[in-house]
């Protein structure tokens, strides 16, 4: 109970306490910054930044305020005020360096508020003032120049100019800079200065200062360069070069002399330098320099000496220009020009390098020997009076003679079509000129320049024997060119005149015959033959042979083999030729006709027999021998189906007598036989009358088949009995 009471008390105390701590209520309503008299002022204006804070508070007393001024983001000033008056930030006699972006901030008891930013621009820089401590000096003497920027503040760069050229630069945090100037040339020097005030990110440049004049007097001290001899200097002569000083008046300066030739320092000293050397002929002449270095004074004297060559750089030459492996060659080393007034040509000695070379020196500078098998570099030197001159490197590249070329066909040779002939030597240095000859006439030349390149000639042959006239030669030197053998190649003759021959002869083709389709062409084998029947997509057969003809066989023809046939042939010339079309009509087999005829006869005979039997039964008593007499009186030519069938019913003797003369068929080679064979002859004849009768008996089958075999003149053994039932239809 007590605890709860305490807690209530505490909380009410704390609630009141907050109000007690923030003794007074207030709020900062606005903060503003104004620039007086103008945000864009000229130099020297008394500029005021006015910061005004509008604060609402509950009490009469003004609150303690803290004002801060920021320039370009940095705090530059802070002041605490207990009055409610505006805060003034003074920039008396404003300078360019006061330019910037200003902001004011007010803080009251932890609360703060900033004004908007205001930019202040101050224009105009003061004119720089230049002052020199001397106006007359001698070369090398120092002058102190002072440049001032009156009234300016901030970071300032000062620049000094001599006759318009900038000679010195100095950065200071103040409004004046000092420079030590020296002059390398005598005469009048016009000195000026100016400055730049740096207010990041801008800079403001002042106008130019007044001009100060310095008169620089030349130092009388000079270096003197003497070279002897001065003229008519030849290679090998000794040159004396002397560098001295003239008019050395003051001894306080410590002069230093440097004698050099180009970038090569020959010697140095204080007052006199001597140097002697052997003259060498180099370029446009020898240039010497004598340089005096005395503190800040540098003086130079130069002299160029022309040196005449005693003898020129030797040249190394090769003869003959084209050298072949292991063949003689001559290298000659010679200096073209010799200063005859000083040197006798005989004094010159020549040496060939490398020294361990296999060549023999025969005369001054002439070296002979045999060429090596590989490339070799030579140089030579000419020497006289201790002067040695080296030639340029001569690389001797011995060539390899071309070997006898081989001539061959490249690809295939087809008569009448372009043929490529390759001419090639196994060895030989490039370039090689290959020339194709036909007989003794040059056809053309191909120059092979690069490895891998080939000499391929294009010709056309119209006769097969024409190709053997071609030869070729290879040439890679001025010597005689080796000649190849004659071209040994066969020409493919394109196919022509295709014919398709059919055996047996077309009108004689019948079922069961063995058919030969013989395709023949003119042209070069191997030939691929194809036989086609019109209507079939695929060829009947495809055969390649080394002959010009080939047959395709159908061992036993059937009615379905009738059709239109042709053949096709192709060889390596790639032209396809086609024969004429041949129409084959397979006739019905003879034995079939015979069977049909036989059956018809049999039927007719049976009918007749029945009629006769009936007749005889009615007339037998009256005329018993009438029939016999009828047969006897008739001529053999009149025998017909009716009679034959009648005969079959009669005894054998009579039959033979009657039939025999009629079986002699002059168109048939088949001999007549006894017995059943004779039936054939008769049937053969009668078949004309009963061709379409398929209803035949199997009685005579085997016998007829025997006959059929004998008729077939092409392949007698093929027509065996088992095949026949298949053929029947």
Ligand X SMILES: *[C@@H]1O[C@H](CO)[C@@H](O)[C@H](O)[C@H]1NC(C)=O
120 in Cβ contact with 35 (< 8 Å): yes
CA angle 472, 474, 479 (to 5 degrees): 125
560 forms part of the interface with ligand X (CB under 6 A): no
Q: Residue 575, Cβ neighbours under 10 Å: how many?
A: 16
Q: Give the nearest distance from C-beta 471 to ligand X in angstroms.
A: 13
Closer residue to ligand X (CB): 23 or 393: 393
Using CA atoms, how far residue 348 sits from 338, 345, 365, in Å, is: 9, 6, 9
Which residue in 330, 447, 558, 648 binds ligand X (CB under 6 A)?
447
**Residue numbers 297-336 binding ligand X by CB under 6 A:** none
Q: Give the nearest distance from C-beta 377 to ligand X in angstroms.
A: 4
Which residue in 78, 270, 271, 274 binds ligand X (CB under 6 A)?
274
Cis peptide before 555 (omega within 30 of 0): no
The closest of 249, 298, 241 to 272, measured between CA atoms, is 241
Q: Give the nearest distance from C-beta 399 to ligand X in angstroms.
A: 10
b/e string for 257-282 if b means 16 or more Cβ within 10 A?
bbbbbeeeebeeeeeebebeeebebe
Closer residue to ligand X (CB): 70 or 258: 258
Q: Give the nearest distance from C-beta 276 to ligand X in angstroms.
A: 7
Q: Give the nearest distance from C-beta 328 to ligand X in angstroms.
A: 19
Using CA atoms, how far residue 498 sits from 517, 523, 529, 545, 553, in Å, is: 13, 10, 10, 15, 18
Q: What is the DSSP letter of 127?
A: P
Q: Give the nearest distance from C-beta 457 to ligand X in angstroms.
A: 14
The closest of 292, 313, 465 to 391, measured between CA atoms, is 313
Which residue in 12, 163, 232, 240 binds ligand X (CB under 6 A)?
240
Closer residue to ligand X (CB): 488 or 629: 488
408 forms part of the interface with ligand X (CB under 6 A): no
Closer residue to ligand X (CB): 46 or 578: 46
Mention every residue, 6+ apart, whose C-beta is less than 8 A from residue 531. Answer: 517, 519, 539, 540, 541, 552, 565, 566, 567, 568
Closer residue to ligand X (CB): 261 or 445: 445
541 forms part of the interface with ligand X (CB under 6 A): yes
Which residue in 121, 368, 379, 543 binds ligand X (CB under 6 A)?
543
Q: Give the nearest distance from C-beta 266 to ligand X in angstroms.
A: 13
Which residue in 12, 377, 574, 656 binds ligand X (CB under 6 A)?
377
Pattern 204-233, ligand X, x by CB under 6 A: ------------------------x-----
Closer residue to ligand X (CB): 299 or 475: 475
Closer residue to ligand X (CB): 493 or 658: 493
Q: Residue 429, Cβ neighbours under 10 Å: how many?
A: 16
Q: Give the nearest distance from C-beta 139 to ligand X in angstroms.
A: 28
**Residue numbers 476-495 binding ligand X by CB under 6 A:** 476-477, 488
Q: Give the nearest distance from C-beta 540 to ligand X in angstroms.
A: 7
Stretch that binds ligand X, among 217-225, 259-267, 405-413, 471-479 (CB under 6 A): 471-479
Q: Give the nearest distance from C-beta 481 to ligand X in angstroms.
A: 8
Q: Give the nearest distance from C-beta 311 to ligand X in angstroms.
A: 24
519 in Cβ contact with 552 (< 8 Å): yes
Closer residue to ligand X (CB): 46 or 58: 46
Closer residue to ligand X (CB): 66 or 322: 322
Q: Give the nearest distance from C-beta 453 to ligand X in angstroms.
A: 13
Which residue in 129, 242, 366, 718 binds ligand X (CB under 6 A)?
242
d(CA 73, CA 511): 123
Helix (H, G, I), strand (E, B) or coil at 51: strand
294 in Cβ contact with 220 (< 8 Å): no
395 forms part of the interface with ligand X (CB under 6 A): yes
Binding residues for ligand X, total number by CB under 6 A: 20
475 forms part of the interface with ligand X (CB under 6 A): yes
Q: Give the nearest distance from C-beta 257 to ligand X in angstroms.
A: 13
d(CA 710, CA 460): 57
d(CA 410, CA 467): 13
Closer residue to ligand X (CB): 37 or 675: 37
Specify the length of the chain in residues. Answer: 729
Handedness of CA 519, 524, 527, 530 (dihedral sign): negative
92 forms part of the interface with ligand X (CB under 6 A): yes
393 forms part of the interface with ligand X (CB under 6 A): yes
113 in Cβ contact with 105 (< 8 Å): yes
What is the chain's Cα-based Rg? 68
For residue 415, the surrounding DSSP H or E stretch is: none
142 in Cβ contact with 181 (< 8 Å): yes
d(CA 672, CA 638): 20
Residues forming contacts to ligand X in the complex (CB under 6 A) are 46, 92, 228, 240, 242, 274, 375-377, 393, 395, 433, 445, 447, 475-477, 488, 541, 543
């Amino acid at each position: 109970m007590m605890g709860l009471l305490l807690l209530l008390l505490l909380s009410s105390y704390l609630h009141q306490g907050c109000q007690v701590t923030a003794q007074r209520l207030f709020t900062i309503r606005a903060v503003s910054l104004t620039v007086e008299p103008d945000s864009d002022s000229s130099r020297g204006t008394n500029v005021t930044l006015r910061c005004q804070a509008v604060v609402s508070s509950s009490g009469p007393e003004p609150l303690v305020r803290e004002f801060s001024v920021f320039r370009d983001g940095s705090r530059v000033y802070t002041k605490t005020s207990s009055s409610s008056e505006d805060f003034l930030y003074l920039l008396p006699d404003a300078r360019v360096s006061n330019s910037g972006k200003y902001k004011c901030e007010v803080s009251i008891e932890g609360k703060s508020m900033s004004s908007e930013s205001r930019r202040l621009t101050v224009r105009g820089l003061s004119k720089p003032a230049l002052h020199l401590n001397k106006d007359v000096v001698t070369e090398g003497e120092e002058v102190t120049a002072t440049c001032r920027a009156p009234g300016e503040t901030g970071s300032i760069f000062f620049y000094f100019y001599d006759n318009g050229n900038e000679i010195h630069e100095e950065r200071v945090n103040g409004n004046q800079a000092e420079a030590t100037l020296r002059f390398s040339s005598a005469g009048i020097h016009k000195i000026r200065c100016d400055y730049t005030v740096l207010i990041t990110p801008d800079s403001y440049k002042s106008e130019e200062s007044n001009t100060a004049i310095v008169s620089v007097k030349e130092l009388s001290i000079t270096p003197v360069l003497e070279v002897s001899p001065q003229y008519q200097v030849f290679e090998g002569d000794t040159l004396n070069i002397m560098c001295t000083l003239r008019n050395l008046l003051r001894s306080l300066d410590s002069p230093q002399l440097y004698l050099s030739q180009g970038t090569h320092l020959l010697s140095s000293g204080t007052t006199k330098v001597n140097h002697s050397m052997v003259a060498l002929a180099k370029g446009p002449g020898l240039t010497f320099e004598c340089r005096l270095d005395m503190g800040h004074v540098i003086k130079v004297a130069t002299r160029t000496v022309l040196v005449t060559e005693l003898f020129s750089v030797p040249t190394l030459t090769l003869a003959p220009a084209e050298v072949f492996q292991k063949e003689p060659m001559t290298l000659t080393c010679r200096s073209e020009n010799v200063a005859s007034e000083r040197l006798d040509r005989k004094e010159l000695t020549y040496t060939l390098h490398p020294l361990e070379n296999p060549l023999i020196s025969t005369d001054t500078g002439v070296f002979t020997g045999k060429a090596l098998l590989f490339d070799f570099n030579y140089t030579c030197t000419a020497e006289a009076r201790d002067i040695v001159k080296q030639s340029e490197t001569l690389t001797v590249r011995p060539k390899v003679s071309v070997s006898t070329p081989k001539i061959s066909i490249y690809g295939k040779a087809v008569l009448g079509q372009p043929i490529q002939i390759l001419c090639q030597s196994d060895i030989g240095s490039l370039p090689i000129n290959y020339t194709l000859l036909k007989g003794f006439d040059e056809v053309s030349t191909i120059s092979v320049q690069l490895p891998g390149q080939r000499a391929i000639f294009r010709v056309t042959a119209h006769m097969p024997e024409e190709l053997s006239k071609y030869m070729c030669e290879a040439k890679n030197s001025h010597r005689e060119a080796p000649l190849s053998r004659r071209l040994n190649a066969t020409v493919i003759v394109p196919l022509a005149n295709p014919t398709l021959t059919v055996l047996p002869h077309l009108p004689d083709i019948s079922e069961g015959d063995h058919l030969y389709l013989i395709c023949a062409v003119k042209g070069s084998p191997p030939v691929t033959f194809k036989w086609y029947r019109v209507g079939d997509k695929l060829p009947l057969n495809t055969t390649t042979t080394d002959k010009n003809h080939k047959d395709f066989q159908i061992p036993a023809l059937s009615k379905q083999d009738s059709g239109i046939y042709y053949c096709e042939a192709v060889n390596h010339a790639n032209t396809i030729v086609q024969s004429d079309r041949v129409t084959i009509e397979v006739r019905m087999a003879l034995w079939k006709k015979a069977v049909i005829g036989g059956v018809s006869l049999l039927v007719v005979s049976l009918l007749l027999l029945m009629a006769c039997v009936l007749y005889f039964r009615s007339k037998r008593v009256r005329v018993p021998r009438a029939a016999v007499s009828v047969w006897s009186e008739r001529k053999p030519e009149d025998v017909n189906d009716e009679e034959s069938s009648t005969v079959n019913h009669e005894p054998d003797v009579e039959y033979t007598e009657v039939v025999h003369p009629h079986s002699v068929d002059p168109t048939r080679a088949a001999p007549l036989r006894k017995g059943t064979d004779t039936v054939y002859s008769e049937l053969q004849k009668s078949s004309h009358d009963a061709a379409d009768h398929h209803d035949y008996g199997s009685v005579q089958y085997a016998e007829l088949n025997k006959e059929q075999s004998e008729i077939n003149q092409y392949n007698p053994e093929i027509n065996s009995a088992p095949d026949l039932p298949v053929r029947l239809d």
